[in-house]
Structure 1
Amino acid sequence: MAGAGDFTTDGPVKIKVEGLRKTVRAMEAAGASSQDMKDLMHALGLIVVRAAQPRSPIISGRLSGSLRAGRGKTKAVVRAGGARAPYAGVIHYGWPARNIAAHPFLADALQATRSQIFSALNDGLGDLLKKHDLT
């Protein structure tokens, strides 16, 4: 999410993230570990996973069970599917040639939790700065 560039939220609180990679490098140079950032990004991904699980279509439960958050230093990644649910992309994006309508449960979950994610990112970065005496 954050690695994609600059973005702002809509609503009463506006958060703008610029140069997250630069910030991460500066924090690492000052003593913050990359594991701290990975844990923060994983926590952001889990917000989306928790919101996407009830939105995913449930027939066998495999698709919902395949949702997981990755651990990146500069971005939060949410994945769905795998060997036990190889159809995740088709369900999410659809397949017009086969008359399968899109059911963008991940995109809907991301949109619904956007303000929560930005708030958690802001709080998490603030906590890391305090933890390593960088404020």
Structure 2
Amino acid sequence: MSRADLDVATDGTRVRVEGLRTTLRAMQKAGAATEDMKELMHSIGTLVVQAATPPVLTGRLSTTLRAGRGKTKAVVRAGGARAPYAGVIHYGWPARNIPANPFLTEALQRTRPAILRALDEGLADLLREQDLT
């Protein structure tokens, strides 16, 4: 299995998608618009952003949550200049006795079924648009 393939195991259930990289390359060669893929991946990232519940002290961290626009992967980001402590909040800092609060990882786990459904439907739509089905 290549790195771009998807292999997810949760609660005794394993989902494996093989050939994702090959499918994405074939769609690109066939003329699938890069912007369409970016929009699909952004919408998948947005599912995680909407489900994320970061801790609220001032509310600044929650304003920095955003979904990226990758053409082959969904990316979710938190933090930046307005909240440089986002990584410490999420991963913790044992040397400073700051426990981890993996709010993004938890949001990903909660939305996994919706993400897989959106990926399946989105790729199917793109394949139909390119007459690859």
TM-score, L = length of structure 2? 0.89
Contact 1:9/1:115 (CA < 8 Å) preserved in 2? no
- One-letter amino acid of the structure 1 residue matched with residue 39 of structure 2: D
> Which ranges of 4 or more aligned residues in structure 1 deviate by more than 4 Å?
8-11
The yes-or-no answer on 1:30 pairing with 2:30 is yes
How well do the aligned residues superpose, as a CA RMSD in angstroms?
Answer: 1.9
The yes-or-no answer on 1:133 pairing with 2:131 is yes
Shift of 1:15: 5.0
Shift of 1:24: 1.3
Shift of 1:9: 6.0
- 1:68 maps to 66
- Cα distance in 1, alignment partners of residues 30 and 4 from structure 2: 24
- Cα distance in 2, alignment partners of residues 29 and 108 from structure 1: 36
Unaligned 5+ runs, structure 2: none
The yes-or-no answer on 1:104 pairing with 2:102 is yes
- 1:84 maps to 82
- Cα distance in 2, alignment partners of residues 106 and 119 from structure 1: 19
Percent identity over the alignment is 64
- Cα distance in 2, alignment partners of residues 4 and 31 from structure 1: 20
**Equivalent residue pairs, number:** 130
Q: What SS does structure 2 have at the residue aligned with 1:123? A: helix
- Cα distance in 2, alignment partners of residues 5 and 96 from structure 1: 33
- Cα distance in 2, alignment partners of residues 14 and 133 from structure 1: 31
